[in-house]
Amino acid sequence: MDPKRWNKVERIFHAVLEAGESRRATILEDSCAGDESLRKEVESLLAHHQNAGTFIETPAFEEKQESVSPGSRFARAAQGEPGLTGTVNEQYRVLEEIGAGGMGVVYKAEDTKL
List the domain boundaries for the chain: 3-52, 62-111
Helix segments in 1-114, DSSP class H: 3-18, 24-32, 36-52, 62-66, 73-78
Q: Above 90 in pLDDT, residue 99?
A: no
pLDDT tens digits for range 34-51:
899 999 999 998 888 877
0.85 exceeded by pTM: no
Distance CA 63, CA 81 (A): 17
The mean of the pLDDT values for the chain is: 79
Distance CA 26, CA 18 (A): 13
